[in-house]
Structure 1
Amino acid sequence: MTRFLPLIWQGLSRRKTRTLFAGAVIALTFVLFSFLMAFDRAMSLGVDWADADKLVILHRTSPVETLPLSYVVDLQRLPGIRLVSHRTWFGGYFREIGNQRPVWAVDPARFLTFYPNLEFSSESEKAAFLAGGNAIAVGAPVAREFGWRVGDRVPLKSYIWTSTSGGNTWYFTVAALFDSHDPGADTAQVLIPYLPFDQTRTFGRGSVGIIEVALSKGTDAAAMVRQIDSRYFNSAKPTRTSTLKGYLQSFSAQIGKISSLVRGILSVVVFTTMVLLASNFIHSFVERRAELAVLKTLGFSSRRLLVLILTEALILVGGFGLLGLLAGRSLVGMAAAAVADFLPGLHLLNRDLLLGASLMLGLALVTALWPAIQAARLGITAGLRGRI
């Protein structure tokens, strides 16, 4: 096939303007494909990677209501439960209300055992956070944004809680920085120790916002959900338990609609590109009928002409499509760095790139198949006369 590359190049360069226009459309299609796939993944952050053996427990009537800390100890005794952790929304911001970031009050030991995918800069930093006191752990994106370093003493204000010292400001020391290679991990957050926070808030002491449960291997998650909710059904603080995946989906109720919208936009873009490419290849075939007929007189078989036309399409779509995919990947990377604080998870996976390559192959074959078949069926006499 390599000896026919000059013929393929001649076919592609016959109408340079048309070829470049088609190439630009293809490249832009795959740049947009990259962004839409990355955005769709960012909107469903955590849902795809949510463990099936983890449960989330909230107050039955409202997620704003708290649960007793004693539930954590009580649940730990139940057979089938491997680990219980908890977190409480701090409602934190740095200096100004516009600098709101996710700040959670947690039990450091329980939380890090529950989320082993969080990676610390060093074991000594991790140990400092586990030691308690006013030590906090800061996600890498937040630390970069505010310029925080280990050892810095930072004031965090809350729009929910007030301190016994007066006001709504707590002072903490940055003990550790963390990140993660897990695409489902949320690192754009701050973890503060629950105990000193609980002891110094003016109301809500001895309560937590969310309880998280990790099940032992082989435990039926659905049965455990029913057991937990039944256990506290008649208490002053009834619970609503769900799987971690279910919780994330309900917390982001619009994900399904947004994902459908993204896929709809992508479908329209791909269909439009397909129509433009099909028109391009049909026009090219009509203009080259006489040339194709001459090739047949020189001994080119119908099968060879079919392969020749399809190869042209594969080179055009594959070349410009790959260019668009690589450009899209680079642009997504730059965009991800810019929006990491409020849209974490904006990235492309290798399977997205493979899907893009498959889409290129499909576009090339679908749009060039009819012209290729017509070229194979073209009679020499009809072709030389300019007929199909």
Structure 2
Amino acid sequence: MQRLERARDLAGASGIDALLVTPGADLRYLSGYAAKPLERLTCLVVPVGGEPFLVAPNLEVAAAEAAGVDVEIVGWNETDDPFAILAARLGDVGRIALDDEMWAARVLALRAALPTTEQVLAGPVISQLRMRKDPAEVEALRVAGAAIDRVHERMAEWLRPGRTEREVGHDIARAIVEEGHETVDFVIVGSGPNGASPHHEVSDRVIETGDPVVVDIGGTTPAGYCSDSTRNYLAGGSVPPAYAEAFAVLHEAQEAQRAYARPGVTAESIDRVGRDIIADAGFGELFIHRTGHGIGTQTHEEPYIVEGNDLVLEPGMAFSIEPGIYQPGLFGARIEDIAVCTEDGLAVLNDTERQLVVLG
């Protein structure tokens, strides 16, 4: 209930009369309930002037109770109109905030059920809670980081010349679950020129001797917290000189960013530290994305480590540090760690080799 109370207080301070949250990371964060995103409406309602309640189809009430939902559950039958039930329970309100990922059909149905009520986004309120992790959340992220590290430590079992990216990716996905995750969120195996696409995923390309390979992997643990780590491998052979030059610059940039990041600096300044090193070495145009993203109950959430974000970092904020260099048609490289601001520094939650790992 503490998170709900804090969310209610923040909503009231923002001039919002109620928060409405449907299945997704926000609902799980606020209530502990990882509800299925069904066509039937499930919605947590947090009125600023009243007690929170959960509207849920009757066939999902038992699941909500089993998840430990600690608010009143208002069930509805198949022939009921859940939006009318919600509107009647909520009453006359002037302004409601809807979770940022609410389906458009539900947004419009709520607009019809509450025609005189203004709708705004709940993200600016809920993100203020989610991006400041408490000690239990930091520990959950630490567990997730250790689990994905164990997968990277096993890469020699699968990544070798003659295998396809898809075959390697299949083995990695199985290991992500074996090493402690509940779900596999993504597997990127970008060999040779495919590494130049940051979100390549996998293909039927056969990995060749001497290929640099970008491996970016992550999953969600049973506690609901995410991992995300990128390392770079060489599938035997010798390191291509152009790649070696770029990778040395990338390693220097990521190391400098980890050394610099701490409470009291801005998100954009972390990006700038690494980007300046990469640009000064002549690779600036090949660093084509932000330095990082927040992480928690979602792989990507606030705070974003990017130019233009002047947010001052605080203890408990967790984010990735992942600069990259991508040479189209030739190779790509990215080094990624998850880090959390402590009271006076930075705790890095991944601890596998950051230098290029030569396999075979």
Q: Same fold (TM over 0.5)?
A: no
Q: Which has the larger radius of gyration?
A: 1
With the length of structure 2 as denominator, give the TM-score of the two structures.
0.25
Which structure has more RCO (C-alpha within 8 Å, separation ≥ 6)? 1
Higher helix share: 1
Higher share in strand:
2
Structure 1 length-normalised TM: 0.24
